[in-house]
Amino acid sequence: MKPEEIGILIVDDEPSVRDSLYQWFTVDGYRVDTAEDAATALKKLQEKPWDIILLDIKMPGMDGIELQNRIKQIDKNIVTIIITAYATVDTAIQALKDGAFDYVTKPIDPDDLSRLIRNAVEKRRLVTENIQLRQQIEELMLPDEVVGESPAIKKVMEMVNTVAKTDSTVMILGESGTGKELIARAIHSRSSRKYFPIITINCGAYPEGLLESELFGHEKGSFTGAIYRRKGKLEMADKGTLFLDEIGNISEKMQMDLLRVIETKKFTRLGGDKTIDCDFRVISATNKDLEKAVKDESFREDLYYRLNVFSIVLPPLRERRSDIPLIARYFLNKYTQSMNKNVTDFSPRAMEMFTAYDWPGNIREVRNVVERAMVVAKGNQIQAEELSFPFPSLSSPSGGESLDDVEKDQIVKILNKTKGNIAQAADILKISRLTLYNKIEKYHLKR
Amino acid sequence: MSYIYIVPIELEDHSCLEKLESFFFETFHLKTRRREFKINLKEAFDPNRGQYNSSLILRQLIMKPPRDAEKILAVLDVDLFIPILTFVFGEAQLKGIGAVVSTRRLHNRFYGLPEDAEVTTDRLLKESVHELGHTFGLIHCSQPKCVMNSSTYVENIDLKQAELCPLCQKSIKIDRTRTAHKGFRFSWWGKNSRVG
C-alpha cells in the first residue's frame, strides 16, 4: 500500500502532540487528520474511513481505552495504537487486551515511531488482503452451486442452508450420480469452516488396511512400504470438513475405529503412540439402505445414529424432470468454455429427448452425455443425432393408439428390456436387425 | 531576486556554511544570503528535557521574514525536539518558508566516536537540503539514496546522497525565471555528484 492510500487519525488533547504528529506523518505522505477528543474522533470516523488511529489514553471525557472499544465496534479491523505519557502495566495490558496493535510512551524515539507505523501499515495491508481473498474465495465457490429450481431441489437447498450453520454430522442419501459430494461441498461452503479444507475420502475405494492408513496416517516404518511419516485425511481436515463417501462400504473394524474418532476427536497415527487432537465436521454419503444394513447388523447402529444426526435425501433426476434442461444447459455452458466451441443450445428435439429419458445415472450421466455430444457437435446447436445415451424416451411410452404408436412403444419396451442390445431386441421382436435399425430411425430412437 | 537566507544561531564554527551556499544554488537555483536573526533560544528551551523545541525556534524564525527571502534556514548546534519525539535533526514547514537544522546529533562525538568535520558538514548539507526540500513541498521519498528519504538515525543520513532523485527534482516547485544561473544540469549520483 502506498502512503497516500493510508489514513491516519491522531487523537490527543495536547495541540503540540497533534501538530507534531500531523507534520511527521504528512511529510511521510500519509493522509492525516487530528481530533482533540473522543467525540471529534468518532465524528471523523463516520465521515471517512481510517486505517490507523493513534490514541492518547488520558483525555478529558472519554479516555483512550474506552474510545478504542467504540472504534472496534465500528470497525474491528482498524489498527489502534495507544500513546501515553504515563505508562502503567495495567493500562498497557488493558489496551492490548482490548485489541490495541501497540502501546507506546511519549516521547517516542523517531526510529521506533517509523517502525511502528511501518508494521501497522503492514498489518492493515494483510487484513485488507485477507478480506479481499475471502471475497475471491466466495466468488470462486459460486460456480459449484447446485443447479435446479424444482420444489424437490429447493427443499434440499433449504435443508443445506439450515444444517450448514450448525456443526452437526450430516448423512446424504441418494442414488449414484445425484450430486451427493456437491451437496457436501455446498454445506461446507456455507458453514463457518469454509476457509478450511473439505477433505473427501471414498471409503469404498480402499481395501481395509489402506483405508485405515488413509484416514489416520502412519508413522515411518509402521508397515512395509511406510518409508516416511504421512498425515492422514483426519489431520488434513483439521478445522474443516471430512466427507466420507460410500460410508456403507466400510468394514466392521473400521466402523468401530471411526465411531471412536468421531466421538472423541482424538486418534493416533498407525504405528504411533502420540494422541492427535483434531477438530472436523463429518458429512457422510451413501447410496445404500443403511437402515436395512443396521437391521442386518452389517452396519453398527451407534455409528449410524452418530453419522445420521441430520439426513438429506437427494431425489433422483427422474423425480425432478423440470431441472433436466437447466442441468443440461449448465454442463453445455461449462464445456463450451473448456472446449472453446461455439455451441449455444440444444435443438428442440434433443432437449425433448433429454427430458423424456429416465437418467438412471442421474446428473453424472447428464454430464457425460453432454460432454460426448459437445465433442461430436458440428453446428451451434446439439442435434438429437449427436446425443449418445441409451435410447432416449425408452421408458416413456407414447400412450398413443395408432399402429405406429403401438409399434414404437413395443420397440421401446423391448430395447429397455435388452438394455439397448439390437441383436437381442431384433430376435425378440422377430424382425431383422436392419429392420430394427430402420424403425429406430423412423421413430427417432436412434442413439 | 529572492534568496535562501541561511541564519546561523549561536553557531561557533561557520566554515560548514560555505559548502551549503554553493550546493543550495545548484539544487534549488536560488542564491543564498547569510544573516544573523534575533532568536531567543531560551524561549525554546525545555528544562525537563534539556532540549530545545524546534517548533518554537521555527516560529521565531519566520516571524518577520526579509522581503527577498524565498526560504529561511536556521543552523544551530543544540539538541532539538518536537513534543512527541525524543529528538529531531531538524524541522521545516511543508510548503512554507522556514526550516531549522541542528548539527548537535550530526557530530560523531555525540555518539562517542572521533570527531570528523567533513562527515559533519556532509550530514549537515544533506539535512539542510532535506528540510528545505520540505519547504518546497517535497514529502519523504521511498528512494533510499534520495536526500528526501526519511532519516531517523544518523547512519541513515550517511547512506543517502545529498541530491534529489529525478522524481523529486520533477516534483519540486521552483520558479525558474528567478534562477540566476541558467542551463544548470542536475547531477544524480554520478561522476558529477558534488557531495557524497
Beta pairing partners, B72: B5, B98
Comparing A92 with A246, which gets the higher pLDDT? A246
CA distance A2 to A260: 53
Q: pLDDT tens-digit profile of A140-184?
A: 655 456 888 899 999 999 999 999 999 999 999 998 888 899 899
Beta pairing partners, B69: B3
Residue where one domain finishes, among candidates A293, A315, A337 = A315
Active site includes B131? Answer: yes
Residue among A63, A99, A98 nearest A79 (CA) = A99
| Domain assignment of residue A432, yes or no | no
B177 in Cβ contact with B142 (< 8 Å): no
Mean pLDDT of B156-160: 95
Q: Which among B49, B134, B152 has the least Cβ separation from residue A110?
A: B152
Q: Which among B85, B94, B134 has the least Cβ separation from residue A108?
A: B85
Identify the domain containing residue B117 by its residue range: 3-173
- Do A347 and A304 lie in a common domain? no
Beta strand A241-245 with B45-46 is: unpaired
Q: What is the pLDDT of residue B193?
A: 29
Alpha helices in A241-400, H assignment, sequence order: 252-264, 290-295, 301-307, 324-339, 348-356, 362-376
B149 in Cβ contact with B141 (< 8 Å): yes
- Do A161 and A133 lie in a common domain? no
CA distance A9 to A17: 13
- Do A164 and A294 lie in a common domain? yes
Q: Which among A28, A29, A107 has the least Cβ separation from residue B83?
A: A107
Q: What is the CATH classification number for the domain harbouring A369?
A: 1.10.8.60
- Do A41 and A122 lie in a common domain? yes
Mean pLDDT of A34-42: 94
Question: Cβ contact (<8 Å) for A29 and B82?
Answer: no
Residues 6 or more apart whose Cβ sits within 8 Å of residue A343 = A332, A335, A336, A374, A377, A379, A380, A381, A382
Q: Which of A10, A21, A27, A118 to mutate to test the interface with B (most CBs of B within 10 A)?
A: A27
The ipTM estimated for the assembled molecules is: 0.77
Compute the residue count for chain B: 196
Q: What is the CATH classification number for the domain harbouring A92?
A: 3.40.50.2300
| Domain assignment of residue A415, yes or no | no
Q: Which residues of A touch B139 (CB under 8 A)?
A: 26-29
Q: Which residues of A touch B56 (CB under 8 A)?
A: none
Give the CA-trace dihedral at A163, A168, A173, A176, to 10 degrees.
Answer: 90
Which pLDDT band holds residue B194 (cuts at 50, 70, 90)?
very low
Residue among A255, A243, A242 nearest A301 (CA) = A255
| Domain assignment of residue A369, yes or no | yes
Is the predicted pLDDT of residue B16 greater than 70, yes or no?
yes
Is the predicted pLDDT of residue A408 greater than 60, yes or no?
yes
Q: Which of A11, A14, A20 to mutate to test the interface with B (most CBs of B within 10 A)?
A: A20
Q: What is the pLDDT of residue A389?
A: 67
Min Cα distance B7 → chain A (Å) is 23
| Domain assignment of residue A326, yes or no | yes
Which DSSP state fits A420?
Answer: T
Beta strand A266-268 with B90-92 is: unpaired
| Domain assignment of residue A338, yes or no | yes
Q: What is the pLDDT of residue B182?
A: 37
Q: What is the pLDDT of residue B140?
A: 94
Min Cα distance B83 → chain A (Å) is 6
Q: What is the pLDDT of residue A284?
A: 96
What would the grid cell of residue A390 be? 441409451
**Count of A–B CB contacts within 8 Å?**
60
- Do A54 and A149 lie in a common domain? no
Q: pLDDT tens-digit profile of A365-396?
A: 898 899 989 998 888 899 888 887 655 444 45
C-alpha torsion sign, points A217, A218, A219, A225: negative
Q: What is the pLDDT of residue B186?
A: 37
Measured N-to-C along each axis, helices A324-339 and A348-356 cross at an angle, to the nearest 10 degrees, of: 120
Q: What is the pLDDT of residue A388?
A: 77
Residue among A209, A212, A182 nearest A198 (CA) = A182
Q: What is the pLDDT of residue A301?
A: 93
User: Above pLDDT 70, what percent of chain B?
Assistant: 88
Q: Which residues of A touch B84 (CB under 8 A)?
A: 16-17, 20-21, 24, 83, 106-108, 113
Beta pairing partners, A243: A200, A283
A298: amino acid identity, one letter: S
Which pLDDT band holds residue A5 (cuts at 50, 70, 90)?
confident
Q: Which among B49, B94, B150 has the least Cβ separation from residue A114?
A: B150
Cis peptide preceding A107, ω within 30 of 0:
yes
Q: pLDDT tens-digit profile of B97-121?
A: 999 999 999 999 999 999 999 999 9
Q: What is the pLDDT of residue B109?
A: 94
Identify the domain containing residue A213 by its residue range: 145-315
- Do A22 and A80 lie in a common domain? yes
Q: What is the CATH classification number for the domain harbouring B23?
A: 3.40.390.10
- Do A45 and A117 lie in a common domain? yes
- Do A175 and A256 lie in a common domain? yes
DSSP codes of every residue in B18-73:
HHHHHHHHHHHS-EEEE------HHHHEETTTTEEEHHHHHHHHTSS--TTEEEEE
- Do A291 and A326 lie in a common domain? no
Name the most confidently modeled range: A264-268, A280-284, B180-184: A280-284
Residues of A with a Cβ under 8 Å from any B Cβ are 14, 16-17, 19-21, 23-24, 26-29, 83, 106-111, 113-114
A410 in Cβ contact with A398 (< 8 Å): no
Of the CA atoms within 13 Å of residue B196, those in its CB half-sphere come to 22
Q: What is the pLDDT of residue A269?
A: 87
- Do A247 and A359 lie in a common domain? no
